[in-house]
Amino acid sequence: MTTSLNDTIVALSTPFGVSALAVIRLSGPEALSITNRIFSPSRVKNIKSVKSYTVHHGRIKDGNKEVDEVMVAVYKAPHTYTAQDIVEVTCHGGGVIISTLLELFSQNGARPAEPGEFTKRAFLNGKMDLSQAESVNSLINAGSRRALNGALKILNGSLREKTEKIKSALFEVKANIDADIEWGDTEELEIIDRSDIIDLLDAARGSVEYILDNSKAYAGIYSGFRVVIIGRPNAGKSSLFNRLLCESRSIVNNIPGTTRDVIESEVISDRYLIRYVDTAGLGLENPSETDILSARKSVEEIEAADFVIILIDKEKGVGKPEKDILKIASGKKRVIVINKSDKAEGVAKKDLSAVSGESKIIETSCKADTGLEKLKEEIKHQIDKAGPEHIMVSVRQKNSFNETARGIKRVIDIMETSPVSYEVASYELSEAINYIGLIDGTVIKEDILDRIFSDFCIGK
């Protein structure tokens, strides 16, 4: 998509379909004159001469034929979303009206906008950096208050601030190293202090890792806190899953190996967006080829989880499957749940102290409906603990942060080796700085931009 910034673009900014009102937006140098050709204002003479940030009632006409009664808002460059003249026409929300208006604007010189082209212009005209532009999409797609807050923070520049700090530290190191390359042999110049440089690099790497640790990569839409239920076959995973969702989503059966695929579903509970994941049991006796594939998927789910519920069947206690699960999920935030607590015989909380470590233990019965509120509270507590800062970054940004961290690590390694090859260090630093540039958009290729903005809806 090689599109000129000088075209005036037009698009419907609200969903297409029948609604009370709809908004059509234009951006570009001709926005006002194109509108002027088809809009007859009721109070002012000419829409071109009105003040910025004003709204005007009037009629859109196709020749002498009236098409709709509308309100036209005028925002003049440069203090607008795209830094260009913007006109927003609020019309009635019927499909025919919208199509007719869009066609009229096109006939009069506006080009239909590409997806995300308004925000792309905002970025290209320096109104926001790329991380902020991307967050506009997350804002629109936010599936929860939490996701919305995350997107808003980034839109307000929180990621920008962090990347700027990292970048300026790297530039400082590079300036020092480059000075040494150029002047290192001359006596009068201070020799650079390697340990200071390494400290600076360590701090920069720490900041990148902080972002990575607190980030939640999203694929288009931020999909909630991922709670994975794991346990041996028949422990009651699907029963618990259904209870937590308050709907009968997974098949429950007393034959071990009922669930074979990963089943997931989302709920909003209070202000929390939680994605529960039901999995196939681990440790099935005499597994078929399909069972082995299912078990592999369950293990992958443990890895992808924000929080793991290790479900223990009270009657079965802790056997090989449980020991394996505890090991696989050792680095994970988790809770141990003893299910089927309605049964008289079996393990109790105190029997698990040898294997539970730091993990909390909760007893539940899906049959008698006990302990479930306690479990839900624990999950919410974990979401709150997930960090005061939950930084939303896209998969693309996450990759760039990873590359930056690796690059900085390479520079540290070089600086710690004697004799230091300052040329190589300088080269590696430029690479790391480049990766940061891919995040804020200071180094950006057209095809990457196209990919980012093609995920947007038209009109944004």
Where on the chain is the footprint of Mg ion (CB under 5 A)? 237-238, 258-259
**Nearer residue to ligand GTP within complex by CB, 302 or 411:** 302
Other beta carbons within 10 angstroms of residue 335's beta carbon come to 21
In the complex, the smallest distance separating the C-beta of residue 313 from ligand GTP, rounded to whole angstroms, is 8
Per-residue DSSP letters for 265-307? Answer: EEEEETTEEEEEEE-PPSS-SS--HHHHHHHHHHHHHHHH-SE
**Residues 59/66, Cβ–Cβ less than 8 Å:** yes
Per CB under 6 A, residues contacting ligand GTP are 231, 233-239, 252-254, 256-259, 280-281, 339-340, 342-343, 365-367
Per-residue DSSP letters for 155-169? Answer: HTTHHHHHHHHHHHH
256 binds, among ligand GTP, Mg ion, none (CB under 5 to 8 A by kind): ligand GTP
The helix (run of H) or strand (run of E) holding residue 410 is: helix 395-416
**Nearer residue to ligand GTP within complex by CB, 254 or 418:** 254
In the complex, the smallest distance separating the C-beta of residue 203 from ligand GTP, rounded to whole angstroms, is 47
In the complex, the smallest distance separating the C-beta of residue 362 from ligand GTP, rounded to whole angstroms, is 13
In the complex, the smallest distance separating the C-beta of residue 229 from ligand GTP, rounded to whole angstroms, is 8
321 binds, among Mg ion, ligand GTP, none (CB under 5 to 8 A by kind): none
In the complex, the smallest distance separating the C-beta of residue 273 from Mg ion, rounded to whole angstroms, is 23
In the complex, the smallest distance separating the C-beta of residue 329 from Mg ion, rounded to whole angstroms, is 18
Alpha-carbon span 52 to 74, nearest angstrom: 6
**Nearer residue to Mg ion within complex by CB, 15 or 319:** 319
In the complex, the smallest distance separating the C-beta of residue 327 from ligand GTP, rounded to whole angstroms, is 19
In the complex, the smallest distance separating the C-beta of residue 380 from ligand GTP, rounded to whole angstroms, is 22
- Nearest 5°: phi and psi at 196? -60, -45
Alpha-carbon span 372 to 273, nearest angstrom: 17
**Nearer residue to ligand GTP within complex by CB, 213 or 373:** 373
**Nearer residue to ligand GTP within complex by CB, 67 or 235:** 235
Q: How far is CA 383 from CA 150, 201, 335, in A?
A: 14, 32, 13
In the complex, the smallest distance separating the C-beta of residue 369 from ligand GTP, rounded to whole angstroms, is 9
For residues 198, 204, 207, 208, the Cα torsion angle rounded to the nearest 10 degrees is -110
Q: Which residues pair with 27 in a beta bridge?
A: 9, 86
Per-residue DSSP letters for 178-193? Answer: HHHHHHTTSTTSPPP-
Alpha-carbon span 10 to 375, nearest angstrom: 51
149-158: which pairs have CB atoms within 8 A and are 24 or more residues apart? 150/216, 150/222, 150/390, 150/391, 150/392, 151/222, 151/392, 153/391, 153/392, 154/391, 154/392, 155/128, 157/129, 157/132, 158/391
236 binds, among ligand GTP, Mg ion, none (CB under 5 to 8 A by kind): ligand GTP
Alpha-carbon span 242 to 194, nearest angstrom: 58
Nearest to 441 by CA among 394, 405, 392: 394
254 binds, among Mg ion, ligand GTP, none (CB under 5 to 8 A by kind): ligand GTP
**Nearer residue to ligand GTP within complex by CB, 339 or 359:** 339
In the complex, the smallest distance separating the C-beta of residue 158 from ligand GTP, rounded to whole angstroms, is 41
**Nearer residue to ligand GTP within complex by CB, 127 or 243:** 243
For residues 119, 124, 125, 130, the Cα torsion angle rounded to the nearest 10 degrees is 70
**Nearer residue to ligand GTP within complex by CB, 135 or 234:** 234
366 binds, among Mg ion, ligand GTP, none (CB under 5 to 8 A by kind): ligand GTP
Counted residue by residue, the chain has a size of: 460
**Nearer residue to ligand GTP within complex by CB, 284 or 432:** 284
224 binds, among ligand GTP, Mg ion, none (CB under 5 to 8 A by kind): none
**Nearer residue to ligand GTP within complex by CB, 87 or 284:** 284
Is residue 401 classed as helix, strand or coil in its secondary structure?
helix
